[in-house]
């Protein structure tokens, strides 16, 4: 359950961003997004793992098994160079989108 | 039906299914640990983690769809073929006795078939090394009782001279000539 429903396609960019600082396993990705959004965005597992697999399939993230902080086997995802490019591209287009929607919403509807 | 057979005949799950299971198990464990840190009681933490995680089958299905979609028709087909082939190899290795038996059956079967066909080929299918072999006829002289016996040369010459059925006639005899030349003389079976 999340306070804000993620706009379709937004999850992918959030997941990419979460991996920008280094490899993480799925649980850490979800935890990181929750924390940095001040608990506003809760990534559901039912969406997270399909997203990770989708990004891996596109070649934007790679994966390998490693040991978690608690010494348990976990699958770590990391950003590939193509993923890094995609993140930059998608971030820029997200900024333009937010900017445009913001302009519309803050405009004077009476004018024009 | 035993578990083993059910596993044998189970439909493939799109590969990497085991990875996802382990991934999800790890995720739930991590959730349990986080709940314990938050002060949940051990007996409730797991139930709560499972509740929050939701239906693993849905995650499984969504991941499977994800994998299948991106590959394109050929990629998906190739993936399924490869997966089935690999699955077959694993099953064969896991049961060497039945695999060996199947292999033996194939070897004997192919061998027997090859033998039968080469015999049929040599005796029935392959044409004789003569021109128009289908027009070749063996003529034998028989006694009134129906027993075949050899033909004398004058008889043969007579038959050949008077018949109008065949374009050509030749005699066939089995002899045991003595061959001399270099080394010792040897006796050989011959046909001429």
The interface pTM score, or ipTM, of the predicted complex is 0.81
- The span from the CA of A90 to the CA of A103, in Å, is 20
Instruction: Answer with the residue of higher pLDDT: B1 or B47.
Output: B47
Query: With contacts defined as CB-CB under 8 Å, which chain B residues touch A31?
Result: 34
Instruction: Answer with the residue of higher pLDDT: A78 or A111.
Output: A78
**Contact yes or no for B26 and A58 at CB 8 A:** no
- The span from the CA of B84 to the CA of B12, in Å, is 7
Q: What is the pTM of this model?
A: 0.54
Nearest to B26 among A27, A53, A57 (CB): A27
Residue B10 is predicted with a pLDDT of: 41
Q: Give the pairing type, strands B190-191 and A73-79.
A: unpaired
Q: Quick one: three-class SS letters along chain A? A: CCCCCCCCCHHHHHHHHHCCCCCEEHHHHHHHHHHHCCCCCCCCHHHHHHHHHHHHHCCCEEEEEEECCCCCEEEEEEECHHHHHHHHHHHHHHHHHHHHHHHHHCCCCCCC
Q: Which of B16-20, B111-115, B162-166 has the highest mean pLDDT?
A: B111-115
- The span from the CA of B24 to the CA of B97, in Å, is 36
Question: Residues B34-39: what's their mean pLDDT?
Answer: 92
| Per-residue model confidence as pLDDT tens digits over A83-99 | 999 999 999 999 999 99
Residue B191 is predicted with a pLDDT of: 62
What is the number of CB-based contacts under 8 A between chain A and chain B? Answer: 58
Contact B30, B52 (CB under 8 A): no
Residue A3 is predicted with a pLDDT of: 45
Query: B58 — contact with chain A (CB < 8 Å)?
Result: yes
**Which residues face A77 on adjacent strands?**
A24, A63
């Amino acid at each position: 359950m999340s306070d804000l429903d993620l706009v379709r396609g937004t999850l992918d960019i959030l997941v990419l961003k979460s991996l920008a600082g280094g490899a993480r396993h799925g649980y850490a990705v979800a935890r990181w997004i929750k924390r940095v959004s001040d608990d506003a965005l809760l990534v559901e597992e039912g969406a997270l793992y399909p997203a990770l697999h989708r990004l891996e399939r596109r070649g934007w993230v790679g994966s390998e098994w490693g040991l978690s902080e608690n010494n348990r086997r976990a699958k770590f995802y990391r950003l590939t160079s193509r993923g890094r490019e995609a993140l930059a591209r998608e971030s820029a287009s997200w900024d333009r989108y937010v900017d445009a929607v913001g302009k519309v919403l803050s405009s004077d509807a009476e004018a024009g | 039906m035993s578990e083993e057979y059910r596993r044998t005949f189970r439909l493939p799950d799109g590969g990497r299914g085991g990875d996802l299971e382990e991934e999800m198990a790890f995720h739930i464990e991590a959730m349990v640990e986080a709940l314990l840190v938050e002060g949940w009681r051990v007996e409730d933490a797991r139930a709560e983690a499972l509740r929050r995680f939701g239906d693993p089958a849905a995650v499984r299905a969504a991941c499977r769809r994800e994998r299948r979609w991106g590959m394109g028709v050929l990629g998906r087909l190739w993936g399924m073929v490869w997966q089935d082939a690999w699955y077959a190899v694993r099953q064969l290795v896991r049961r060497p006795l039945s695999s060996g038996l199947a292999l033996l059956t194939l070897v004997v079967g192919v061998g027997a078939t090859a033998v039968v066909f080469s015999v049929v080929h040599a005796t029935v299918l392959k044409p004789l090394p003569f021109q128009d072999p289908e027009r070749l006829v063996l003529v034998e002289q028989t006694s009134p009782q129906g027993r075949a016996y050899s033909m004398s040369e004058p008889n043969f010459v007579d038959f050949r001279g008077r018949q109008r059925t065949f374009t050509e006639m030749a005699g066939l005899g089995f002899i045991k000539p003595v061959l001399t030349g270099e080394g010792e003389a040897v006796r050989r079976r011959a046909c001429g």
